[in-house]
Amino acid sequence: MGIKFLSVLFLFISAPALVGAYETDQFNNRLQPISDSTSILNQQVTLAIASTITGWQGKRDEMKVVDGIYYKIGGKHWVDKLERFAMASDEVERLDTPPHDSIYSGHPLYATRVAGLFGVGPTLKINNVLVGTDKLGHFLSQGRKFFRRWVKMGDESKAAEHSAYTERALFGQLTTGSYSNADLVANYEGFLFYRSLFEDNVIPGKPAILAWKDDHWIMQRPFDWADHVNDYWDEALNINHYDELLYSHMKARLLTFCDSYNTNPEFFVVRDEEALKYRYRYLQLRDTSELRLDQLCTGDQDVNAESSIFTPGSQ
């Protein structure tokens, strides 16, 4: 009990710094039809790139471009500017999941930690994939850090190791009880985005977004989230790894979604998974397949294990 108390005490002490450290929930209201926001968010990123290179002065400087884009739609605060836009804009449709009525609700605070204190962030649709708004921040901010480490180390696997460390520590399991595979995927895709600004075929078959001509940058193509977002961004498909304080609570909660799975199993299928496993082979993703609904809901589990404690929102 002492460890549990210390965990909660740590959270309250660090709460002001962690207020933007949202978890998200792609289970509740998963079957709700919402509009895809890919084109809206494509425009935001493309405009940020264009405004960064417009009126360029000085020599070619790739890190200056990366930083310019980051400061326009990322930011030094916990919730990036593009993330805030996706959370609040009338142009972006989001799932109707209240922040405090989620898969993390109703569990002991010592188990849920940050998610129990602050609730969950919204979920939108990008490239026909349900994505938590927090992933936009991971893409821009943690992706930039990944890119900077890669430039320094010259080794993708070593840069990926530090990304996994951050998910084990302050940005992940230490403060939330969750090791998010999807966060690591978004970090890596952000790294690829920054590389694709300057390198051909980082996105297979596509030229670099930018090219240096004489004394200035030119844009060769617009940005497209579809080059980066796939089913491994969806935390109902690429499920988090939960620590020992949280695991049993989350397993019981996920079992309450078996009716949704049995009615529409196609909403819980990972497309092209072998290709995704290969793409992310350096990221230290953890195997959580035992918590996927296609496995969890086909065994002899008690789907009413938590019904007296919590009734999730409409699914």
> What pLDDT sits at residue 227?
98
The amino acid at 306: E
Note the pLDDT of residue 124.
Answer: 98
The count of other CB atoms within 10 Å of the CB of residue 36 is: 16
- The reported pLDDT for the residue numbered 163 is 65
The b-or-e profile of 180-214 (16+ CB within 10 A means b, else e) is bbbbbbbbbbbbbbbbbbbeeebbeeeebbbebee
Residue with tokens 């990322």: 74
Element (H, E) at 275: helix 273-279
227, 179, 230, 185: which is closest to 202 by C-alpha? 227
Nearest Cα residue to 132 out of 20, 237, 254, 234: 234
Q: Are the CB atoms for 248 and 302 separated by under 8 Å?
A: no
Locus of tokens 């196609």: 266
Query: How many other CB atoms are found less than 10 A from the CB of residue 246?
Result: 25
- What was the pLDDT predicted at 76? 67
pLDDT reported for residue 18: 40
Mean pLDDT by 10 residues, the chain (315 residues): 45 41 87 97 98 96 98 84 96 92 86 72 97 96 94 86 61 67 96 98 98 97 98 98 92 96 96 97 94 88 40 38
Could you give the CA distance from residue 27 to residue 315 in angstroms, rounded to a whole number? 7
pLDDT at position 21, please?
A: 46
66 class by beta-carbon count within 10 Å (0-12 exposed, 13-18 middle, 19+ buried):
buried
Residue 280 CA to residue 48 CA, distance in Å, equals 27
